[in-house]
Amino acid sequence: MLVGENRLPQSFYEAYDTRTLAQKLLGCELVHNSPDGITSGTIVETEAYLQDDPACHAYQKRTPRTEPMYAAPGTIYVYLIYGMYQCVNVVSNRVDCGEAVLIRALQPTEGIEIMQIRRELSRKKTLGKVSKPIPLKELCRGPGKLVQAMGIERSVHNSQSLVDSNLFITPPLSGNPFEIEISKRIGLTQGADFLYRYSLKNNPFVSR
């Protein structure tokens, strides 16, 4: 099968509201077919952000930064936090709505050596050195880490579509059933009590 041939279609992203999509994405594969090689990981943790949610970037007003959130479902929204970390989101619901699903953690499945190199280079750039090898469990355990490991770049992927870009999502690799755990989102000061965080229960790659 050609790379990307099995990617989820536009109809998939259009079929669900934001909270449902956040759950439907669990178990699917996030894939980046980059010049470095193919990297992929199973989505094991997501968070939903709704337009009437004070933690959502589109809560107060429409800005150039949040413009991708108002595009078609399946659009990629990449933003910068703390001036140094990037996070990748899947735009959801409908055009002009301003909602998205944050991908919080992956279980690496392909291109693990490439992920390791990217993470180590990023750590060296930030800290000036690499203290020790990054464990497999930590490669994509958190939204900033997974973006580094997967080679996702705001300048390249922001506003592109998962339907026709080199970053895309494919259906689950297997039909193994799993239980979804629902909980409060992490690291928020507003909307912290909303149960909009979804993860694969007891999966060791989920962020803590």
At residue 76, does pLDDT exceed 90?
Answer: yes
The pLDDT, as a whole number, for residue 131 is 64
- Residues 6 or more apart whose Cβ sits within 8 Å of residue 146: 30, 41, 88, 103, 104, 105, 106, 139, 140, 152
**Rounded CA gap, 152 and 163, in Å?**
16
Task: Quote the pTM value.
Answer: 0.94
Q: Domain limits of the chain?
A: 10-200
Q: What is the pLDDT of residues 109-153, one digit of tens each?
A: 999 999 999 999 887 776 666 567 899 999 999 999 999 999 999
**Rounded CA gap, 124 and 131, in Å?**
9
* CATH architecture of the domain with range 10-200: Roll (3.10)
Q: What is the pLDDT of residues 1-12, one digit of tens each?
A: 566 779 999 999
**Rounded CA gap, 98 and 80, in Å?**
17
